[in-house]
């Protein structure tokens, strides 16, 4: 009887040892699985973050590069003459200077009002050889096109040279506004105030831009 009891107790102890070993293995394996899952989740999050950063950087690169991009269908069909990259850069710089000198008008309503107040030119179209007191800059990527389609005719009636740039967002930024701008009117003199004079540097930049825009217009009309 004593032997049987001792055998039974030994068997129970062996079973306990086996179960303890199995539990230990399972627990350790579960811990390892959890650790692995945690690593996988961390790596997945890192991949997502890096992917977002890459996507953002590529988007920024595209937006910067597309400022002077002439993709088919982007600009309205009547956007002529359309400034090239070098000319656009020159225009944006003068627009910035005009904003600082307080000679700039922005937006369709304000520009239209200012143009219609100017005296109407009575001579043949294109016969004015002097320097106009205004230059009109229009954005070629406006939608719908009817927003600015009539403004070139108004400019021609008052002998105001005009030219298109390919990016209204860039035009708005140059004019010190966060919103995209369809059209701006650059003045030779200040809009208001007793002293309408401007700096000599701005006067020089204005005259150079005026000549460049008239030259572009002459190429287009030919």
> What pLDDT, in 10s, does the model give residues 98-134?
999 999 999 999 999 999 999 887 776 666 778 899 9
What number is the average pLDDT over the span 19-39?
Answer: 56
- Residue 128 C-alpha from the chain's centroid: 37
Domain range enclosing 167:
85-221
| Domain annotation covers residue 77 | no
Do residues 121 and 175 share a domain? yes
Strand partners, 163: 137
| Domain annotation covers residue 80 | no
| Nearest alpha carbon to residue 182 among 137, 139, 135 | 139
What number is the average pLDDT over the span 2-10?
Answer: 59
| Nearest alpha carbon to residue 156 among 122, 109, 110 | 122
**What is the per-residue pLDDT across 52-90, written as a single tens digit (0 to 9) for each?**
554 444 333 333 334 444 444 488 999 999 999 999 999
Looking at the structure of the chain, the number of domains it has is 2
| Domain annotation covers residue 59 | yes
Beta strand 104-106 with 183-187: parallel, antiparallel or unpaired?
A: antiparallel
- Residue 161 C-alpha from the chain's centroid: 26
Q: Give dist(CA 14, CA 54) in Å, integer.
A: 59
Do residues 21 and 96 share a domain? no
CATH of the domain at 186: 3.30.1330.30
| Domain annotation covers residue 76 | no
The answer, yes or no, to whether residue 50 has pLDDT greater than 80, is no
């Amino acid at each position: 009887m004593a032997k049987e009891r001792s055998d039974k107790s030994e068997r129970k102890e062996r079973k306990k040892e086996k179960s303890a070993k199995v539990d230990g293995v399972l627990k350790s394996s579960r811990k390892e699985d959890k650790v692995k899952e945690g690593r996988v989740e961390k790596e997945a999050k890192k991949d997502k973050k890096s992917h977002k950063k890459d996507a953002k950087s590529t988007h920024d690169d595209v937006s910067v590069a597309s400022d002077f991009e002439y993709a088919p269908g982007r600009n309205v069909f009547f956007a002529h003459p359309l400034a090239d990259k070098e000319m656009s850069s020159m225009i944006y710089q003068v627009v910035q200077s005009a904003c600082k000198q307080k000679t700039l008008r922005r937006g369709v309503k304000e520009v239209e009002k200012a143009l219609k107040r100017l005296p109407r030119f009575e001579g043949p179209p294109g016969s004015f050889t002097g320097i106009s007191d205004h230059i009109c800059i229009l954005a070629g990527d406006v939608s719908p096109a009817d927003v600015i389609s009539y403004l070139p005719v108004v400019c021609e009636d008052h002998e105001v040279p005009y030219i298109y740039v390919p990016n209204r967002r860039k035009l708005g930024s140059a004019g010190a506004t966060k919103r995209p701008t369809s059209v701006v009117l650059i003045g030779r003199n200040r809009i208001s105030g007793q002293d309408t004079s401007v700096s000599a540097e701005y006067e020089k930049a204005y005259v150079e831009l005026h000549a460049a825009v008239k030259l572009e217009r002459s190429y287009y009309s030919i």
